[in-house]
Amino acid sequence: MYRTTSKEVTYQNSRKTEEGCYFCNPIPESIVKTFKNFYVAKNNYPYDIWDYLEVSEHLLLVPKAHMTGFKGMDKDSREEYFNVITDYSEQGYDVFTRATNSLIKTQPHLHTHLIKRTQKRIKNLKYQKDPYNLDIDFVEPEA
């Protein structure tokens, strides 16, 4: 999972200025669907690559109540969560959530990535960690 250089720089800069919990106070325009206990929003800093394929859409499934992991989720919320991820999975979205104690998790508020990919595979990828730089060329899928 990678972002292009410009998206990664924007993401890192935003993390330096954010106050409070980003997911407890989402940008209203980013929300695409709401449920009783959750909302689905466009990721403001979407990945460009997932499983070596180009990403066409990157959404986030977020509980409305602040929670750091699945352990505090009640039965009603667990059922709704499973129904939502099942629906998105059947629409072709990959579903990904970091472990509660993940060292690279950037937001303490539980959230699940819903990632839809194209069939464009990576042809060339040049990556540099510090300073961050990513150049990508994709190959069109064969008909």
Domain containing 120 equals 5-139
Task: Return the pLDDT at 4.
Answer: 66
For 2-35, write each residue's pLDDT tens digit: 676 677 766 666 654 556 788 998 989 999 999 9
Q: What is the DSSP letter of 91?
A: T
pLDDT of residue 108: 84
Mean pLDDT of 73-87: 97
**pLDDT (tens digit, 9 = 90+) per residue, 57-78?**
999 999 999 999 999 899 999 9
The confidence score (pLDDT) of residue 2 equals: 67
Helix, coil or strand: residue 9: helix
Residue 115 is predicted with a pLDDT of: 97
Whole-number Å distance between alpha carbons of 95 and 85: 7
Q: In this structure, what CATH number is given to the domain that contains residue 64?
A: 3.30.428.10
Domain count, the chain: 1
H or E segment and range at residue 16: helix 5-17
Convert 119-139 to b/e letters by CB count within 10 Å (16 or more is b). ebeeeeeeeeeeeeebebebe
pLDDT of 33-46, one tens digit each? 999 999 999 998 89
- Coil, strand or helix: which one is 130? coil
The model's pTM is 0.82
